[in-house]
Each structure stands twice: as C-alpha cells, then as structure tokens.
Amino acid sequence: MNAVKKPLQGIKVLDLTHMLSGPYGGMILADLGCEVVKIEPPVKGEATRRLLENDPAYSFNGMGAYFYTLNRNKKSLALDLKNLEGLKIFYGLVRKADVVISNFSAGVTAKLKIDFKELQKINPKIITCTVSGFGESGPNYQRPAFDQIAQALGGGMSITGLSASEPMRAGIPIGDLGGGMFAVMGIQAAIISRAVSGVGQHVDISMLDCQISMLNYMATMQTMSGVVPAPIGNSHFVHMPYNSFATKDYPIVIAAVGDQFWPRLLKIFNNPELQDPKYSATLERQKDKVKLEKVIQSELLNQNSDYWLKKLEAESVPCARVNNLEQAINDEQINYRNMMVDVPHPNGGSAKIPGNPIKLSSVENEEFLAPPLLGEHTKAVLMDWLGFSEEELKAMDDLKIIEMLK
C-alpha cells in the first residue's frame, strides 16, 4: 500500500457483514485506510463467497464477481460466533477494535450477544454500526428486506420509468449501496465524536431511511403541493430539453438546465418550429415539451451521436452519449482517474474492478490488496491482536472454533 498514511489508518474494524450493503461500507472503510478484518463462519465463509464462484463468465480463479469486488483490502478471519469459545475470542478482538459493523436482520446481534449494549461493557470506546432494512425501531423494523424492498417502499420506483402502472427499480442497487455509504458517514462521525467524548456509540442505519433521504427535494415538493408525482422517464419536470434522444447510432442526453442554453441550441437546430421567441422562457418550453422534444428528436435522427456531441459541446451545451457498461468503464475520463483498477487474486492473476472514487491529495498511486481467501488471516490476526500461540490456534482449528488457511 501507499507509504503515505491514509486518513483512517490505525482504525481497526471488525466486519461481520454479508451480501452487499454492509460489505460495501466495509470496502469503503478499507479503501480509506482502516484495518478491516472480515469475520466469517468457518467452512463456508460469508454468503457471497459461494455466489458465482463457479460461473465461467462472472468469476476469476474460483472467486465470484460479488466477493471479488466488495472485499479488496480486507483480511479474513474464520471464527464460529455461535461457539462459546469463539464468542470469547470475538470479545477479545472487540477490546482491541474501534468499530464493529454488521448487517444482520434486526435482533440478530442481540441474540448473538454482540450488540452495542453487550460490546460496550467490554470496550467503552467501541463504535458499532448496523445496516438493516428498517433500522432498529418502529412498527415494521423486524421485516426482512433486500435492495428492491427498500427501493419500492422508499418511493423511488414510483417515479422511475415511463408508466405509473409499470414501476421500475434503479439499474444499480441504490437501496443496498445507499445503506453502505450512509454507514460509512455515520461511523466516521462517531469516530470524530469519540475523539472529543472518549466513548463510543451505536450507529443505526436503515436502508429505507436512506432512500427517503435521497428523495431529497422531490419529497419536499410533494409535501408542499400535495401532488403525487408520476414517472417521466428521462425527462425533467422543469427543465427542457432535458432527456435522452436517439441518433443514427447511439442515444445521447441533452441536459439544458436553465434558459441560457436555449439560444445555443437554436444555433444547432435551425428548425422554424423551435424559433418562436416565447420558447426563450423555461415555462413556455415546458408547456410544449412533447412538441419540442419531437422536433429535436427528428433533427437528431439525421446524424450519428459523435456529430451531434461535437456540435453541442462546441456551444457548451451539457450533453453525453448514453454509454453501455463496456463503454463506461473504458471511458478516457474514467481511466485517467483510475476508476477501473487491476486487483490481484491471492492465488495469482488479477481482475479489473471499480476503484475508489474518493481522491485524496495525500494519497498518490493508490494500490489495492487482493480479496482474501477464507481464513487467510486468521492466524496472523489472532497472534498479532491477541497473542495466541501456534499450538493454541491449532487446537482451536481442530475443534472448528476457527479455521486457518491450510
């Protein structure tokens, strides 16, 4: 890793997460310099280890795309938390740790005796964070939830797509990813608070809460007006033109926010139906949106995307090609900012995965460690953190309390 110290270097995190929301938060913490130790059940490991592991298209060296992406820079410690001796070892790790992050269903941490109430007795400075569908309070908090549940209940699906009768989820799992991102924010806030107060606290993240937060001004507009918004596809309820359009080859978007772009568009689209002076005002364009978009669309179909993008960019009109995933990850801007990176596999070779979007002036030439094999760091962590001898570790391995990489 970099010789330059990362901002969260020295912070020890015990990562009990699985699937997507929690592991994504743990990944961000690891990227920012935390020592993230992934606690996994022996034998099978965390659930995403098995996901796609044998898929010829979506795995590399027996490691599926999910696990490979979410667990770079982490260590793996295989430990049975349901075993009394395993729980004692975990408590020992908590004494040395700064943060424990999990995303079990509501009530599971209390059942396992690893909730904040229990861990605070062991280490008053510990910070715990749970990411769950509905948080840890309220009339429905114990319901099961995955990404699409959060998207559906959070209202976002009702304003996505083209028809209210055909709700559409976001193409990326924003329910899960939002939970992970807000978890990182909460943990960092708790770390700063602890520096002042000297004590830890619990961070309770609800995926549904995050979805409501991300509705942002749309929710406020509804409470102000009483109007329930309908989906409008890729267009905008105020700005126009603000939509995706077909060309001879690839679709493009034009995002003309404000009136200053309209005269520039008229230089490009010399169509008499667009020339009425009243269209210099956003409100008037919005009234005739269907008509005006139809005219613009007919113009755009005459040439390919590169032709129109050059014209639009020459007039400084915000525009872009609608990239497919292959085009997006090979974009020159993306590559320049190191947003697709080669991450090694523990057994050799490497796979290309998304990089770290948080660019810090103190961190140059960022590198990424391989996602761990199951139990790869069990021995090192337990010896370094808790001082166990090799003989003690072998005995616990024989009893299946822990699992060390053979």
In the numeric block, which tokens belong to residue 9? Answer: 């270097």
Q: Which residues contact 299 (CB under 8 A, 6 or more apart)?
A: 269, 271
From the candidates 176, 204, 209, 397, give the one annotated as an active-site residue: 176
Helical H segments across 198-340, by residue range? 207-215, 217-225, 262-268, 282-287, 289-300, 305-314, 325-329, 332-336
Active site residue 176: yes
Question: Of 243, 233, 228, nearest to 162 (Cα)?
Answer: 233
Helix (H, G, I), strand (E, B) or coil at 315: coil
Q: How far apart are CA 134 and CA 258, in angstroms?
A: 38
Contact 334, 352 (CB under 8 A): no
> Residue 324 burial (CB < 10 Å; 0-12/13-18/19+)?
exposed
For the stretch 344-350, contacts whose Cβ atoms lie closer than 8 Å and that sit 24 or more positions apart, written own/partner, are 344/368, 344/369, 344/370, 345/60, 345/61, 345/63, 345/68, 345/370, 345/371, 346/370, 346/371, 346/372, 346/373, 346/376, 347/61, 347/373, 348/61, 349/60, 349/61
Neighbouring residues of 317: CB distance < 8 A, sequence distance ≥ 6: 254, 256, 261, 264, 265, 268
CB-based burial of residue 267 (10 Å sphere; 0-12 exposed, 13-18 middle, 19+ buried)? exposed
- Closest to 340 in 3D by CA, of 358, 328, 348: 328
Q: How many beta carbons lie within 10 A of that of residue 235, not counting itself?
A: 18
User: d(Cα 78, Cα 81) in Å, to the nearest integer?
Assistant: 9
Q: State the Cα torsion 231-232-238-244 to the nearest 10°.
A: 140
CA pseudo-torsion sign 370, 371, 375, 381: positive
Neighbouring-strand partners of residue 292: none
- By annotation, the residues acting in catalysis are 176
